[in-house]
Amino acid sequence: MEDIEDLLAGGGGAGVPPGFRLPVAGAVGVNPKQKKEKITHTIPKASLSIPGTQTIYMKTFGCSHNQSDSEYMGGQLSAFGYVLSDDPDEADLWLINTCTVKSPSQSAMNTLITKCRSAKKPLVVAGCVPQGSRDLKELEGVSIVGVQQIDRVVEVVEETLKGHEVRLLTRRTLPALDLPKVRKNKFVEILPINVGCLGACTYCKTKHARGHLGSYTVESLVGRVRAVIADGVKEIWLSSEDTGAYGRDIGVNLPILLNAIVAVLPSDGSTMLRIGMTNPPYILEHLKEIAHVLCHPCVYSFLHVPVQSGSDSILTAMKREYTVSEFRTVVDTLIELVPGMQIATDIICGFPGETDEDFARTVDLIREYKFAQVHISQFYPRPGTPAARMKKVPSTVVKKRSRELTTVFESFVPYVGMEGKVERIWITEFATDGVHLVGHTKGYIQVLVIGPETMLGLSAMAKITSVGRWSVFGEVIEVLNQANAVERSVDQFSHCSSLDSSCSKEQCACEMTSCCGQVQEVEKKVSTPKYEAKLNLVGWVLRKRKSNSRIMEKGSAMEFEGNQNKAQNCLLEWSTVDKGLLGGVLVSLLTILALSLYLGTRSF
């Protein structure tokens, strides 16, 4: 069995692609063996037809980062000619992308491997399980793609179809962001901003697989954002094992990246940004900057901040590197500074050493904040982690605590009060019921609406008709085009806080120029020729006057005292293009009149 890169041609290249870097050397979980002279396992061999003509079945477990990896692998395979299928029976090879966070995910992987072997199908296993636990018995005789070798999946599949076993696990460079990609949802781009993390949580196996922190450069990420927007993407998810730790290995930080990305998002809010999971330690020092970005109209006011336990003693045993008080600071600050802020969190029930008092503190914390989303997990000891060696809480107690906390959580009614409100939503997918479309508010609250498939990828105004426990139902009252979408984006900032004439940063929760002094500039875009080019000239002139009146009324309502007169005067001024168009109309009318008079005199 070959264990290193040399079985396949190319060897990975010597240089590092521009914009990418190596994670810190000595990352956990990689111990390459010495090369052997021959392959020691033989796997089922597909028909020796032309490479790139076979069918591949792909199955993905785990987080959004894993989903992005699968989309990249699928994109490369598809570009090479392979056909991707959801039917394992018709496939010539199975590709399983695995997750090592919880035991059930790994058990599901083991079941799928057994089925694949029974079907005598060639198999490739990717993801965190083989990267972090390469010597598992279940992986004997199986080809493996490491988490940072996804850019070589075509080579691995090709060799596996020939009957060879290939294992690519050695970390070299981060995979390029511009690889071919087949998105599960064509409107959603999952963008990994870094791999690995800086933590050392005692229960976590992911660090063994993903290793130490390795960040993509700001320039490469912004370039990817530009590319996917041009490709029609309407929602960008920033993903990693810990978004908040981004850039600490390359001398930048998350706010720097977020501001750079926001700067290239369309001003009409047609493409939204969702910030991924971040642990409390790495955003404490950047809370105001994070709030600044979350208040932007092109960024969902939503953040996933895992707390894991409401007990400081358990957090210490977990090596989470923060206290409950610090978690409260994160939540309280974001709720205070960002209107409509929604926060999701995670809880592990039954961590080793958790007493009844520890668990009671966790329940009290969840009951106090009434989070709309809480991911509740029972503790699963992961092999090779420090927590696996700790004295366990009896499984009956763990299950009881999980049920109790779930009951408390499900008693919340987080969306009461939304009925009758009109919200802007971004529609990106079908609901699982096959009837509704799924949209999200700026707070990332799920809104189910009925509409044609053509609404996918669009933004709309929806009136909330009823509320449920997990989502709300709405009725679309207006589908937004480019012009009125810009206006709605401006309207979203009107609730940023009650602004006085000076629009001070203390009163403007988002502390953004878009929220204050530059709002007039954004509003003016509504009535410029750029957005009216397809209308007839007379209609355009009438709409311009109407639009100017509407914007002046809005400016008055917002009471920008000192800036109001200046803004209105700017809006009333005719630009060179305006004057030219009006002059053209007048010249045309005079020409027609002159021709009419001339023809009239000749008739006599």
Q: Which range is least confidently modeled, 38-42, 115-119, 364-368? A: 38-42
Structure confidence at residue 66 as a pLDDT band (50, 70, 90): confident
Task: Give the dihedral of Cα atoms 361, 366, 369, 371; nearest 10 deg.
Answer: 160
What is the 8-class DSSP label of residue 39?
Answer: -
Choose one of 168, 195, 225: the last residue of a domain: 168
Within a domain: 11:
no
Question: Which one has a higher pLDDT value, 403 or 534?
Answer: 403
**1-28 confidence digits (pLDDT tens):** 433 333 333 333 333 343 333 333 332 3
Secondary structure E strands in 279-395: 302-304, 342-349, 373-378
CA atoms within 13 A on the CB side of 412: 18
Within this chain, do residues 149 and 139 fall inside the same structural domain, yes or no?
yes
What is the 8-class DSSP label of residue 68?
Answer: H
- The C-alpha atoms of residue 323 and residue 319 are separated, in whole angstroms, by 10
**566-594 confidence digits (pLDDT tens):** 434 443 445 555 666 677 778 878 888 88
Within a domain: 569:
no
Q: Is 162 helix (H, G, I), strand (E, B) or coil?
A: coil
| pLDDT at residue 538 tops 70 | no
What is the 8-class DSSP label of residue 24?
Answer: P
- The C-alpha atoms of residue 318 and residue 390 are separated, in whole angstroms, by 11
Within a domain: 139:
yes
- Mean pLDDT computed over 320-347: 97
Within a domain: 33:
no
The pair of three-digit structure tokens given for residue 290, joined into one six-digit string: 């994070």
Residue 287's pLDDT is 95
Sign of CA dihedral 5, 8, 9, 13: negative
The pair of three-digit structure tokens given for residue 175, joined into one six-digit string: 């995979």
Within this chain, do residues 189 and 293 fall inside the same structural domain, yes or no?
yes
Within this chain, do residues 97 and 67 fall inside the same structural domain, yes or no?
yes
SS (H, E, C) 402-464: HHHHHHHHHCCCCCCCCCCCEEEEEEEEECCCCCCEEEECCCCCEEEECCCHHHCCCEEEEEE
Within this chain, do residues 78 and 160 fall inside the same structural domain, yes or no?
yes
How does strand 188-192 pair with strand 83-85? Answer: unpaired
CATH number of domain containing 164: 3.40.50.12160
Within this chain, do residues 212 and 273 fall inside the same structural domain, yes or no?
yes
Choose one of 168, 198, 228: the last residue of a domain: 168
The pair of three-digit structure tokens given for residue 224, joined into one six-digit string: 């990817």
Within this chain, do residues 396 and 385 fall inside the same structural domain, yes or no?
yes
> Helices (DSSP H) in 445-560: which residue ranges?
482-492, 519-524, 529-532, 537-558
CATH number of domain containing 475: 2.40.50.140
Residue 100's pLDDT is 74
Q: Which residues of 241-274 are buried (b: 16+ CB within 10 A; e: fewer)?
A: bbbbbbbbbeeebbbebbeebbeebebbbbbbbb
Choose one of 464, 481, 498: the last residue of a domain: 481
pTM attached to this predicted model: 0.72
CATH number of domain containing 342: 3.30.750.200
Residue 212's pLDDT is 83
Within a domain: 9:
no
CATH number of domain containing 235: 3.30.750.210
Residue 41's pLDDT is 46
Enclosing domain of residue 347: 301-412
- Residue 354's region, left for phi above 0, alpha for psi from -120 to 50, else beta, is beta
Within a domain: 541:
no
Within this chain, do residues 442 and 463 fall inside the same structural domain, yes or no?
yes
Angle between helices 537-558 and 561-572 (to 10 degrees): 170
Within this chain, do residues 408 and 425 fall inside the same structural domain, yes or no?
no
Total domains in the fold of the chain? 4
Within this chain, do residues 312 and 286 fall inside the same structural domain, yes or no?
no
Sheet holding 167-168, edge to edge: 83-85, 55-60, 93-98, 123-127, 143-145, 167-168
Within a domain: 253:
yes
Within a domain: 518:
no
Within this chain, do residues 325 and 406 fall inside the same structural domain, yes or no?
yes
- The C-alpha atoms of residue 208 and residue 132 are separated, in whole angstroms, by 5
Within this chain, do residues 294 and 305 fall inside the same structural domain, yes or no?
no
Residue 573's pLDDT is 47
Of 92-101, 121-130, 318-327, which has the strongest mean pLDDT?
318-327
Residues pairing with 463 in the sheet: 422, 475
Q: Which range is least confidently modeled, 313-317, 443-447, 545-549? A: 545-549
Residue 106's pLDDT is 74
Query: Percent of the chain, pLDDT > 70?
Result: 74
> For residue 437, which of 236, 228, 187, 269 has the smallest C-alpha distance?
187
What is the 8-class DSSP label of residue 475?
Answer: E
Q: Which range is least confidently modeled, 64-73, 343-352, 471-480? A: 64-73
Within this chain, do residues 96 and 130 fall inside the same structural domain, yes or no?
yes
| pLDDT at residue 171 tops 80 | no
